[in-house]
Amino acid sequence: MYFFEWGCWKMQLEPEEARKDDHKLEKKLGIKRDLPFESEDDEEQVAARACVSQTPKARGPVYVFNDTVLEIRSGMFEAKRGLISILSCALIIFITTTTATATVHLARSINELLNKKIIPDIGLLLVLLLYFTIAAVFSWFYLKYGFRFTRLEMFTSRHLLIRFNRKTQQVYLHRPSYCGGIVTLPWKGVTSSGASEKTAIAGGIGVPLFLYWSPRVTGTLHPESAWVGKAGNNQAELRDEWEFIRRFMDEGPQGLPRPRITSHFPWPWQAFTPQFEGLTHYFRRASRTTKVGLLLICPAFLIIGLGHWLSLLLCWKPRWPKLIRQAGLPGKPIPPLTTLADRPPHIQERLRANAHLWAIRPGKRPEKKLRARPKKTESKSN
């Protein structure tokens, strides 16, 4: 499910008029936008170069692993896809069935009129007109407002991917165009939620490993980010995964445990097992009552799993551009880093207009001045 990436991309392109309500809400709640400083960004980048685990491990799913390339599934909530697919298919089936039923009866009435000279019943014609009207109205609303959400799970790339190329020292993100598209980023300058406790997110429970490139690194006036692999059960798992990626890029694959390679073919278990990613922590510590409750809602996991599999079946295998596929091979060119000029003109305009929202402040964050406590006046005794 690409809802998170789609929302982030839309937010980066959001016009100022659409942000007025957000500004009013922030003022009402007393929320102040706090932009990071260069020194803080530098510290996080330095932390990302340090060793954080002695047990590096790729939790996967890993699609490619060799001397040059490491490719892992990416995306926040990508493993939880399924519900949108079920709702979309139900609506598509309803529209198709309604249209087909009305068309069959209309064709039969026309055939009887031409061959047997039987005049169709007025009531039947009104019912058919109602069927066509309902199908047309639902189709219009779906194509105008609903299809954009369907494409977050169906009729699109089967997975979001992140590819690490050790020889070119680049990272490639594979996303649909409506989620930011395919971009080429430098390895140097990345920060990670697995690199330190300061950058950790929610203790690593229920979220994948998070990678981030600040606007200072991307050169596109906006930050780039990626959620890598499976959701974690604790911060230690994310540290192990980050250390695996760091060692691969900085030192090479020698000495790293070879990960299990996952196929892009949509096998059924690839749809059902992700439903439990990041939940082992809760299963182990859950009370007996909670475990019984989880057993009772197993049919819901089954339904979502079926929707997930349906989504995989109705998507296609993601394919990298030839330049990226050949990157790192002898005699092949190194892909250029993505810049603002690579975007369409209207996208460039929106990114320039919103650049101040993600800008990095120069220098170091000033120290907070301690407020002097007022001296207590001694009460005079009478």
Of 117, 150, 183, which closes a domain? Answer: 150
- Same domain for 118 and 245, yes or no, is no
Structure-token match 């907070």, residue found: 368
Is the overall model pTM greater than 0.85, yes or no? yes
**DSSP E strand stretches across the chain:** 62-65, 69-74, 160-165, 170-174, 183-186, 191-192, 209-213, 224-228
- Same domain for 301 and 171, yes or no, is yes
Of 108, 126, 150, which closes a domain? Answer: 150
Of 133, 150, 167, which closes a domain? Answer: 150
pLDDT at 380: 47
- Same domain for 110 and 75, yes or no, is no
- Same domain for 219 and 339, yes or no, is yes
Average pLDDT, the chain: 87
pLDDT digits (tens, 9 = 90+) for 23-80: 665 665 555 667 888 898 999 999 999 999 999 999 889 999 999 999 999 999 887 8
- Same domain for 293 and 349, yes or no, is yes
The CA-based dihedral angle spanning residues 296, 300, 305, 307, taken in that order and rounded to the nearest 10 degrees: 160
- Same domain for 134 and 254, yes or no, is no
Residue 202 lies in a domain: yes
Residues 209 and 238 sit within 8 Å (Cβ to Cβ): yes
For the chain, 382 residues long, the average pLDDT of each consecutive 10-residue run is 91 83 60 78 92 92 96 90 92 94 88 76 86 94 94 93 97 95 96 89 84 93 94 90 96 93 92 76 71 76 89 94 95 95 94 90 78 56 46
Q: In angstroms, rounded to a whole number, what is the distance separating the alpha carbons of residues 74 and 352?
A: 27
Range of the structural domain that residue 220 is part of: 35-82+154-357
Residue 290 lies in a domain: yes
The CA-based dihedral angle spanning residues 259, 260, 264, 267, taken in that order and rounded to the nearest 10 degrees: -150
Six-digit token string for 346: 């209207």
- Same domain for 253 and 335, yes or no, is yes
- How many separate domains does the chain show? 2
Instruction: Work out the burial of residue 90: count CB atoms within 10 Å of its CB; fewer than 13 is exposed, 13-18 middle, 19 or more buried.
Output: exposed
Residues 336 and 10 sit within 8 Å (Cβ to Cβ): no
